[in-house]
Structure 1
Amino acid sequence: MASLKEVRARIASINSTQQITKAMKMVSAAKLRRAQDNITQLRPYAQKLSQMLGTVSAGAETASESPYKQARPIDRVLLIVVTSDRGLCGAFNSNVVKAALALMDEKYSAQARSGNVEIMAIGKKGAEAFQRRGFKVNKNHVEAFTSLNFATVRAAAEEAMEGFANGRFDVVEVIYNEFRNAAVQILRTEQMLPIVATAAPGSTSASINYIFEPSEEEIVTELIPKTIKTQLYKAVLDSNASEHGARMTAMDKATDNAGELLKELKLVYNRTRQAAITTEILEIVGGAEALASA
């Protein structure tokens, strides 16, 4: 049985840990509110922009000539992996890494064996995980969450777009956590390039008569890059909100677990203390009897 001093030290240590997890939960809850507002405000715009691009480009001749729609045999792959900069958020980061590895095994196994899969890491944890596994990691945008804004993410999107247009990559996919609520994050894998034109549900390009102003070519040429950048920005904002939700949930569970452990340790402490007192009483009684019989 552990000594009273050891048990007291463990209780003090767990109390300290519980204070930290409570504080981290509160910080994540505050950050989650702001992050949730950001993604809920952007999501309708991003969805409508994507829907509009799909509907317009399905019937626009200019869209088919865009360098971002050119499908070709897949030899070189870019995976944009969106994780967090810090840990202590449960399986948030490991799930993204596992999803990326599973995608390579199922869809790009030949390219992975040839070393033609490059990782663009947004978030330090993803960069560290794939570097340990020996993958080629693009770390130009790894610190995007340090100052998260559209300009920061746009730079990452433009680099991927330039690489695809120049033939450096034949396909670009994004792996991230989509935010639903504080307790639920859904892993998403989306093809960013080449873009696939899809008409809006319930409509076809043939049934819609568009009037382009200033011109079809100018609108589609401007719309396609803007939509690609906005979709990546939405994915990063989704991941940011998901991270804070995952961390808040993880810290809440850690706080509860610390409370349960404290109950057990206090019970052990009381039993140990009671046993020590009983032993002292028995020693005193034994000594008194020895003196009386002397």
Structure 2
Amino acid sequence: MANTREIQSRMKSIRDTMKITNAMYMISSTKLRRARRELEETEPYFYTLQSMLSRIIRHVPKMEHLYFGDGKTAQAKKKGFLVVTGDKGMAGAYNHNVLKLAKEQIESCDKYALAVVGEVGRQYFHSQKIEVDDHFLYTAQNPTMHRAREIAAKALALYETHEVEEVWMIFTMMVNAVQTQTKMMRLLPLSKEDFKTPEIPVNVYQEEFRFEPSPEQVLDHVVPNYVSGYIYGALMESYCSEHNARMTAMQAANDSAQAMIRELSIEYNRVRQAAITQEITEVVSGAKAQKRKRKKKAKGAAV
């Protein structure tokens, strides 16, 4: 059984660790609120782009375009993956779930092009001897529209030159305040089915569309912005999910630490009580021994 000094040292170490986990919880909470606010502020713009694509497809349903369709051409060789992880750990299963899904998808295809956001993902694929074609530094902890446009430009370039037939994004999405979900969504090519609107009655007035210079060139400008917005939204969702997972992990760590402190407090009181009982027993035993010794001396003097 440990002595009181050892137990006190362990309790102090746990309390010091709790200060760190509490600080990490508060930091993640602040960053999560700020990220959600920034995402909500940019959502209307990208919802408008999505609505515009729906209107274009509704007016020109049979239009053929590079960014729409199955994306397969004679020159297509690879499938592109954009994997979003964090730069740090201590976030529960956040990184593990993304990397597990990404590895399964990579192993299921013959050829691939892999781009990674986040230091955790880069180190993981390096340890697994999986080649990473591109790595975006300082993006996971600071998602910005500028970084999203850079990623979109590289993804679009690979697709436009037919180096990949499809571009998929693997990230984590917040379902609600306590639940997240790892998702795999196709960035390119876009599917017309995703932008179809319900059938409009014949007697309902519809706006008149004029494309200048042509519908194809309009899409050449709208789709890259839409893809950039989708990537930005996914980066922000992953960023929020990471901090939400870290908050959950830190709260679990705090709860475990408090439970350990309660157990150690009970053990400390038990050891302290045993030590006091032992000291009392020693004092009583010593007093009895002295009493017997005095009686023995008195009896010898009387004789």
TM-score by length of 1: 0.88
Instruction: Show the counterpart of 2:87.
Output: 85
Q: Residues 21-40 of structure 1: matches in 2 within 5 Å?
A: 21-40=21-40
Q: Structure 2 vs 1, CA of residues 63 and 292 (structure 1 numbering), >3 Å: closer, same or farther?
A: farther
| Maintained 8 Å contact 2:65/2:216 | no
1:211 maps to 2:213: no
The alignment-based identity, stated in percent, is: 29
Q: Which of structures 1 and 2 has the bigger CA Rg? A: 2
Deviations 1:237-292 (A, max 9, x none): 11111112221222122212211111111111111111111111112222222222
Post-superposition shift, 1:67? 5.4
User: 3-state SS of the aligned residue for 2:135?
Assistant: coil
Tell me the alpha carbon deviations over residues 139-183 of structure 1, each in whole angstroms, 9 at most, x when there is no partner: 431321354311112111111111121122221100111123332
1:47: how far off? Answer: 3.8
* Partner Cα separation in structure 2 for residue 231 and residue 17 of structure 1: 39
Asked if residue 145 in structure 1 is aligned to residue 140 in structure 2, the reply is yes
Partner of 2:212: helix, strand, or coil?
A: coil
Partner Cα distance (2:241, 2:124) in 1: 19
Code of the aligned partner of 1:148: P
Q: Measured at CA, do residues 131 and 223 of structure 1 come closer, stay the same or move farther in structure 2, by a change above 3 Å?
A: same
For 2:97 and 2:208, how far apart are their aligned partners in 1? 43
Once the two structures are superposed, the pairs formed by residues 246-257 of structure 1 within 5 Å of their partners are 246-257=245-256
Letter in 2 for 1:144: T
Deviations 1:8-60 (A, max 9, x none): 11100110111111111111111111101122233343344234324524653
Tell me the C-alpha RMSD between the 2 structures: 2.5
Contact 2:78 2:165 in 1 (8 A): yes
Alpha-carbon distance in structure 2 between the residues aligned to 1:67 and 1:169: 13
Q: Which of 150, 172, 179 is the aligned partner of 2:174?
A: 179
2:101 to 99, 102, 111: 99
Please say if residues 99 and 121 of structure 2, whose CA atoms lie closer than 8 Å, have aligned partners that are also in contact: yes
Tell me how far 1:101 sits from its aligned partner.
2.4
- Alignment partner of 1:192 out of 187, 194, 198: 187
Match of 2:288 in 1: 289
TM-score of the aligned structures, taking structure 2 as reference length: 0.85
Aligned length: 286
What CA deviation, in whole Å up to 9, does each residue of 1:104-151 have, x standing for no partner? 45xxx141xxxx223211111111122211111134313213543111
Q: Contact (CA 8 Å) 1:83, 1:122: kept in 2 or not?
A: yes
Q: Give the gaps of 5 or more residues in structure 2.
A: 294-303
- Equivalent residues of 1:181, 1:245 under 8 A apart: no
Change (3 A) 1:175 1:51: farther
